[in-house]
Amino acid sequence: MRVCVIGTGYVGLVTGVCLSHIGHDVICVDNNEEKVKLMQSGQSPIFEPGLSELMQGVIQAGRIQFTTDLAAGVEHGEVLFIAVGTPPLPTGESDTRYVEAVARGIGQHLNNGYKVIVNKSTVPIGSGDWVRMLVLDGVAERQQALVGSGGSTVTDIQVDFDVVSNPEFLREGCAVFDTFNPDRIVLGSNSQKAIAMMKELYAPIVSREFADDQSLPTVPVVVTDLSSAEMVKYASNAFLATKISFINEVANICDRVGADVTQVAKGIGLDSRIGSKFLQAGIGWGGSCFPKDVSALIHTADDYGYEAQLLKAAVTVNQRQRMIALEKLQQVLKILKGKTVGLLGLTFKPDTDDMRDAPALDLIENLHRLGTKVKAFDPLVSQSGMRHGLSNVIVETDAERLADGCDALVLVTDWKQFQTLDYAKMAKLMTHPVIIDGRNYLDQASLEAAGFRYVGIGRCG
């Protein structure tokens, strides 16, 4: 099938490359000329494991193009994905200006032939009908422009399209894997024709043709209305964020009563009704999805006269949790003014270069406010040369440089590489060999044998 993906961020680029890999003819559109030139040269503008290799393969196969020309993309695609960002506004609601611009732009360039316009961006509930209205507004603007130039009448442009909500459930750092091995595919539309085209598009993925384990049953396809599909995305992320906040709340109680949250999490996670995922206590959730989606759902509830108290509590717990590492540093080092603290990890999660709403940013800001010298080492950020606008922190190039002269280390991001560092050597380089394990990720016994004082989150001993 012919596909157009508009927006080449984490979702758009992964979607475009993976759809091309399974055999579709894809054009990716972005309004950033430098970014498009970079992609045309075969380089990915984002770090995502496995993406660069796939991207180079489909470019060589001639199944993907990159352009700034929206008209060319709209003309090419039978299926048009809107995959632009919807960042949070200060009010908590989503900033949908980019979706609006793209929807109008699609309408201004729609040609003859049936099109399926797919909302891949995470948009407020009810946006499916809104996008349809904006597309029609774009068509009307084009008609008026033609009439004004004397080149046509208002009846000359005929369009035929449907809107589908197809929320993404991609985890940064695992986005390629998640595309080929999804738990489910959600399709929201009132058009059977549009649903049939989307099922055809995803058929190789549904049949597990490109899955790591091709013996698994076919991928469940959930077909629903537009609003329910949009709600599935928000409800999924809100539940996962709440689950993390819950275990962090339990961890804080464990700290006070002498229990070990890692053992508690293991015990409750074996309950099939609960499950073990997202029960890792630590310094809170961040990134581009959880904070934005939870806030947007709270804002939607407020718009319709309902106070989402549980979701608001999850946000409050998370905000407080980001200060836990700071509190533990104060308990161990007492006065932080004049001390040096090293952060192991900067990104909000491993295997990504994304620092949007990363807990490390809050930690850096507050440590600096208290007069602490802050250093950091991140396997990706340190090597990339891109400091993401970081201030008040010295970014070191390796873990031993980080440890040198530090009064304490804080594990912020659970990068796999951090389990195999030479901690014995690092401890000798430090003024005070203390480590705050902000993810309960490291082995306490090994660190203590290496000479560290180990402090976890919600862990006894």
Work out the end-to-end distance of the chain between its first and last CA atoms, rounded to an integer number of angstroms: 59
- Unique residue bearing structure tokens 């890792």: 280
Token readout for 18 is 């993976």
Question: Across the strands, what pairs with 318?
Answer: none
- φ, ψ of residue 142 in degrees (nearest 5): -65, -40
Question: Across the strands, what pairs with 3?
Answer: 26, 79
Query: Active-site residue among 18, 28, 254, 289?
Result: 289
Token readout for 425 is 């050597």
Q: How far is 116 from 446, CA to CA, in rounded Å?
A: 56
Q: Which residues contact 287 (CB under 8 A, 6 or more apart)?
A: 172, 348, 349, 354, 356, 357, 358
Question: Across the strands, what pairs with 2?
Answer: 25
Phi-psi region of 172 (alpha: psi -120 to 50; beta: other; left: phi over 0): beta
Q: 162 in helix, strand or coil?
A: strand
Asked if residues 86 and 123 have their Cβ atoms less than 8 Å apart, the reply is: yes
Token readout for 303 is 């718009």
Angle between helices 309-321 and 226-257 (to 10 degrees): 50
Active site residue 289: yes
- φ, ψ of residue 80 in degrees (nearest 5): -115, 115
Q: How far is 206 from 154, CA to CA, in rounded Å?
A: 42
Strands (E), 104-242: 114-119, 160-165, 185-188, 221-224
Element (H, E) at 225: none
- Unique residue bearing structure tokens 């040609």: 111
Q: How far is 308 from 310, CA to CA, in rounded Å?
A: 6
Q: What is the CA radius of gyration of the chain?
A: 24
Q: Write the burial class of residue 372 (CB in 10 Å: 0-12 exposed, 13-18 middle, 19+ buried).
A: buried
Asked if residues 141 and 104 have their Cβ atoms less than 8 Å apart, the reply is: yes
DSSP state of 20: H
Token readout for 130 is 């809104």
Q: Which residues does the annotation mark as catalytic?
A: 289
